[in-house]
Amino acid sequence: MHNNNDIDILISEVGPRDGLQSVKATMPTELKRQWISALAGAGLREIEIGSFVSPKLLPQMADAAQLVAHGRSLPGLFVTALVPNLRGAQAAFEAGVHKITMPISVSEPHSLSNIRKTHAQVFEEVRSVVALRNTQFPHIQIEAGLSTVFGCTIQGEVPEDDVIRMAVTMAEMGVDEVGLADTVGYANPTQVRRLFTRLRDSVGTVAGSAHFHNTRGQGLANVVAAIEVGVTTIDASQGGIGGCPYAPGASGNIVTEDLVYLLESMGLRTGVDIERLVAAREWLQRGLPGEPLYGFIPDAGVGKNFHYAKKDA
């Protein structure tokens, strides 16, 4: 589905989902459409447009199907959504997503508090979703997004063997990709290198994306560590929106603008135009007035010596 031969690193923009679902206010659908169009116009090729969850639970995500339709209308955009269960998967598949991500907590206490399911129940759900996909929607990809892999606010330490065991279980169940997420911002670069290396050794090409939070300021350092061990898809959120629910006042996701600058200045092509990306913040400011936006590049600019990466540079 992806044709990304002309880039080195794929940035998956998760602001419309991870960002907006952790903000109390609901951004109007029309402004979300404009924002998604502006992000795609800046060169982002993959956008997580929302979550298919009960609107009672997360009214901010009630327009997910409309946003999938909008995303599908933008040329070359790969549209993804977060899906916690079979009901959400059915809705996302029917809406026309290219990929769903199922959040899978490696820490069982986190799973119980986050989606009120034991691991056994989660496995049932994944099996059902994969079966539905295989019989009716064979072209749609399924990613297991393993969360709390670098530690958990409830359980504390999360053994790496548990992470790898969960990744192997997911691969055996037939998911296409297994990504690793630092849900609570505990990860450090040494841990990132080690765990992504083990992930690739255990599940091969099923090893997927990296999702880091900047809660403790380690986000971009962890990105560099992940890239050093061969990760080629990194999640990020425009303006770093999506605070960390367990660390009030902390910025959440890594900032897309800063990530693009980091990668391009390291000679890695992202396909993203920084000026157009920064300009897309305007829709976010309109849609969520007063919400803090993070990032150094929007304030400081790229500097006089900045060049976009070139092929084989």
Separation between Cα atoms, residue 256 and residue 29, nearest integer Å:
22
Instruction: List the Cα angle 69/70/76 in 5-degree steps.
Output: 100
217: closest CA among 247, 241, 250? 250
Question: Alpha-carbon dihedral of residues 111, 160, 251, 37, nearest 10 degrees?
Answer: -80
Q: Check: CB of residue 81 under 8 Å from CB of residue 111.
A: no
- CB neighbours of residue 108 within 10 Å: 18
The catalytic site residues sit at 244
**What phi and psi, each to the nearest 5 degrees, are found at residue 55?**
-60, -20
Q: Which residues pair with 179 in a beta bridge?
A: 145
- Provide the token pair at 186: 């505990």
DSSP sequence for 14-42:
-IIIIIHHTSSS---HHHHHHHHHHHHHT
Size (the chain), residues: 313
**What phi and psi, each to the nearest 5 degrees, are found at residue 305?**
-95, 10
Instruction: List the Cα angle 182/68/211 in 5-degree steps.
Output: 10
- Provide the token pair at 101: 């991500």
Q: Which amino acid is at 117?
A: K
- Classify 44 as helix, strand or coil: coil
Element (H, E) at 81: strand 78-82
Q: Which residues pair with 80 in a beta bridge?
A: 48, 99
Strand-pair category, 46-51 with 10-13? parallel
